[in-house]
Amino acid sequence: MRVLVTGGAGFIGSHIVTALKDRGHEPVVLDALLPAAHPGTPPLPDAEFVRADVRDADAVRAALRAVDAVCHQAAMVGLGKDFADAPEYVGCNDLGTAVLLAEMAAAGVRRLVLAGSMVVYGEGRYTCEQHGVVRPGPRRIDDLRAGRFEPRCPDCGADLVPGLVGEDAPTDPRNVYATTKLAQEHLAASWARCVGGRAVSLRYHNVYGPGMPRDTPYAGVASFFRSSLARGEAPRVFEDGAQRRDFVHVRDVASANAVALEAVGTRPAGALAAYNTGSGEPHTVGEMAAELAAAHGGPDPVVTGEFRLGDVRHVTADSARLREELGWRPVVGFAEGLAEFARAGQRASAGVVG
């Protein structure tokens, strides 16, 4: 199968290209190599390469020739610095997706795997002893400043028990990036309905592994911690470190994309199916920082009590649907993956030399 991988020179995209080649497919990489993600020319994947922006309709049209499916990874990621980033997020993520889908419609390409995200859920799944499953509202800044980080039951104010969030949970994006990721899914679903396409969105949880960018406000928390350790500094853990996440290795995410691309042709036409893509083993941010620091041999993490208003407290994946319907299984364990990541190199980011 000939697969166009947008963003294929990036952190996750480059691993997907490798996974596709290993399974006998022919990847074609389209990547703009934007300075925000690539301050210099990165090592390019061993595949046909087109340097172009996904918002460039002419370039996308040319890249789609003789393509059987698209794996759409190109996006601006992370929480960002502040709301001033909003136009860039919407332009890269939503306009870019719209241009890609319009050209796919014209070219007759009807198979799509989209890089989704767990951020579309907002807060994860919570249970109140009295009221059952509840949806807490956004955390208040006064509570965060006072160190009250745990969401409370919206009905009675009681403590909540976090659990695994399934794909049928309501979406509730709580920052600009999350909003654009949900919009991408809506665009893909609309495309599928209009043209009889088949689409899968893999809602990634916290992806980490070799090749993560360093020293950037747009990377994930694992990258922040690894960058600190590389500088000989202690990882700075926000809030109290008890935030629960699902840390999934990038090679497992790459294999999920390859499996989904092979299966998407068997999905019902005219619809998008969403799948959580996580390890299935929740850990706290503090646990991850401590494990990474120990594996690196660097300073112990420091819990700072700082917070970012757009962050959520707990969100962990129920990935049973992906396992049951597509047969995917993660193979890299938490300790094993972090031990490798502690020794692995990182990509340079904008403003970083080397």
Active-site positions read 177
Give CA separation, 237 vs 282, 285, 308, in Å. 17, 7, 12
314 by Cβ neighbours in 10 Å (0-12 / 13-18 / 19+) ranks as buried
d(CA 155, CA 136): 9
Q: What's phi and psi for 13, nearest 5 deg?
A: -55, -40
Alpha helices in 27-95 (DSSP H): 57-63, 86-89
Give the strands of the sheet with 111-117, arranged side by side. 48-51, 26-31, 2-6, 69-72, 111-117, 198-204, 271-277
d(CA 316, CA 246): 5
Q: Are 2 and 70 in contact (CB under 8 A)?
A: no
d(CA 289, CA 241): 9
130 by Cβ neighbours in 10 Å (0-12 / 13-18 / 19+) ranks as exposed
Site of tokens 């068997």: 266
d(CA 95, CA 227): 31
